[in-house]
Amino acid sequence: MTGENKSTPPILHHKDHDQPSVFVPENLLREAKRQKAIPDGNVPGICVLDPDGDIVRNLLTANEAELNPYWCCYHTQLYNFRYCGIEFGIVGCAVGASFAVLIAEELFASGCQLLISMTSSGQILPDGEPPFFVLIERALRDEGTSYHYLPPSDYSHISNRFLKVLDGAFAELTVPVVRGSTWTTDAPFRETQRAIEYANTEGILAVEMEAAALYAFAQARHKPVICFAHVTNQMGNVEGDFEKGEGNGSRDALQVISVTAKAWCAAQAQTAADAMT
């Protein structure tokens, strides 16, 4: 504890956020590729994190996804699929801040150019009835991973550039997509009444487990990440909770994902065209 304030927790000690990491994803993937005899190649340019795994399971059931042969991760499988003319990669069941960021680091080291996270979440503010989607503008940093990427602050934020890209993008969808704040927690079964009341005072719409860390990673690494919360439940406090909709919500989630990807691709194309003029 020498040289550190003893009143602060260890997670805030010995941090230099501008210093590079000794252990990097490229080195891990290099050894995984060697050990598994995986051929050279990249993942799709647009990838999706599906913590619940429902999108992956429904795609596989419909024979609409196939295993990516180039994904070297020790912990997960990545599947390729096409939706509305766009090729995606998708990883299921990477739950929680540290797991999500581990996969995000590896995806961008493997050729990913845009990462979309679609996590399920519990409702905080009683506005609207689940299920609906939240485009997460900011996420309360009640987890640990984000503090390894950015100095302490209350929230992690989406890039303002992406908010502009997505302005009005979801107007034609039948499923509601709202903008707002979420609370990212590491302890889903420690959502106490006091913590919920605080989240209410902050205008927080839902609680989830990944967004604060993913946005901190995105800011620190200058990577494009867009996070959605699929508000599917009231934390089990009503009968018949956790109903997502058709295909366990995968159909609606894919519509939101595809609209996001199309808007991002259009913005990228416009930027490239502007650069040539």
138-142, 168-172, 270-274: least confident range: 270-274
In the predicted model, is pLDDT for residue 241 greater than 60? no
How far apart CA 79 and CA 90 sit, in angstroms, is 5
Average pLDDT over residues 121-134: 89
- How many helical (H) and strand (E) elements, i.e. helices and strands, does the chain have? 7, 10
* Higher per-residue pLDDT: 257 or 175: 257
Beta strands in the chain (DSSP E): 46-50, 65-67, 78-83, 86-92, 114-123, 132-142, 155-157, 177-185, 204-208, 225-233
pLDDT score, position 127: 74
Amino acid 247: pLDDT: 52
Residues in the chain, total: 277
Bin 102: left if φ > 0, else alpha if -120 < ψ < 50, else beta.
alpha
Is the bond preceding residue 188 a cis peptide, omega within 30 degrees? Answer: no
Confidence of residue 163 (pLDDT cuts 50, 70, 90): very high
Note the pLDDT of residue 1. Answer: 39
What pLDDT is recorded for position 52? 95
Question: For 26-30, which contacts have Cβ atoms below 8 Å and span 24 or more sequence positions?
Answer: 26/109, 28/74, 28/106, 29/72, 29/73, 29/106, 29/109, 29/110
| pLDDT mean across residues, the chain | 93
Eight-class DSSP state of 221: H
Instruction: Express each pLDDT in 5-46 by its tens digit.
Output: 668 899 999 999 999 999 999 999 999 999 999 999 999 999
Average pLDDT (114-128) is 92
User: CA-to-CA distance for 232 and 1, rounded, in angstroms?
Assistant: 43
Model confidence at 87: pLDDT above 90: yes
User: For residue 211, which phi and psi values (nearest 5 degrees)?
Assistant: -60, -45
Domains detected in the chain: 43-234+250-276 (3.40.50.1580)
Q: What is the mean pLDDT of residues 143-158?
A: 98
Least confident piece of the model among 53-62, 119-128, 216-225: 119-128
Q: Look at residue 72 in the predicted model and tell me its pLDDT.
A: 97
Smallest CA-to-CA distance from 229 within 152, 177, 271, 171 is with 177
Residue for token pair 């079964």: 189
The model's pTM is 0.94
Q: Pick the more confident residue, 235 or 15.
A: 15
CA angle 124–127–132, rounded 5-degree value: 85
pLDDT value of residue 74: 97
